[in-house]
Chains A and B, each alone.
Chain A
Amino acid sequence: AQSVAQPEDQVNVAEGNPLTVKCTYSVSGNPYLFWYVQYPNRGLQFLLKYITGDNLVKGSYGFEAEFNKSQTSFHLKKPSALVSDSALYFCAVRDMLAAGGFKTIFGAGTRLFVKA
């Protein structure tokens, strides 16, 4: 079965510094990988995805992620963090089902705290 792991419960970074939120995956076949962000008491918002193509994927709000097949990682990055980036971030993988459907498996989430 497909799975993703987010090894850090929380990441702390100072405003203006680069940030990285880690994600590793375990899939059979080609991975469909996603990052989502959740603000308090809200639904999730899509940030970016990797399906195929360039390993460096650019997404919303200045975020990007690098797909690394050899390390089975898909870390989320941003060159300069903002206080408003403080939120809960989820890595996810698409699990294609034998019957033709699919479901999305989420990591445990990493809380990002950006200090002014």
Chain B
Amino acid sequence: GAVVSQHPSRVICKSGTSVKIECRSLDFQATTMFWYRQFPKQSLMLMATSNEGSKATYEQGVEKDKFLINHASLTLSTLTVTSAHPEDSSFYICSASRGRGGELFFGEGSRLTVL
């Protein structure tokens, strides 16, 4: 199967700082990547759809200025949590699809803890 790499797997930061999470498709080109947030013992909440070469599409209720998404190439999308606060602490997961009808390939997730 396809491989999606996500980095870092864990990050601890101080309140007010910014954190960048990278998502790379290692063996295929992903024109579309998805960013999810998962709270403990809950399902995945789609935050935004990242499109290569264009602006991300954010889901309702997700702050665009808070969660900056950049999809600079066909293999890399980044999520930057700006001015992080403790309530931003969560598990963030990226995924990519090789086609419209295909399955998603997920990164290993990034656990963010904001102190």
A residues adjacent to B (C-beta < 8 A): 32, 34, 36, 41-46, 49, 51, 90, 94, 96, 101-109
B residues adjacent to A (C-beta < 8 A): 1, 4, 6, 32, 34, 42-44, 46, 49, 51, 57, 91, 93, 95, 97, 100-109, 111
Contact in complex: B106, A44 (CB < 8 Å) = yes
List of B residues within 8 angstroms of A94 by Cβ: 101
List of A residues within 8 angstroms of B104 by Cβ: 34, 36, 44, 46, 104
Contact in complex: A106, B101 (CB < 8 Å) = no
Q: A38: shortest Cβ distance to chain B, in Å? A: 9
Which residue of A is nearest B104, CB measured? Answer: A104
List of A residues within 8 angstroms of B91 by Cβ: 41
> Which 10 residue pairs across A and B have the least CB separation, nearest first?
A43-B106, A46-B103, A44-B106, A43-B108, A43-B109, A108-B43, A106-B44, A106-B43, A43-B107, A109-B43
CA distance A101 to B109 in the complex (A): 24
Contact in complex: A42, B103 (CB < 8 Å) = no
Contact in complex: B109, A103 (CB < 8 Å) = no
CA distance A110 to B49 in the complex (A): 25
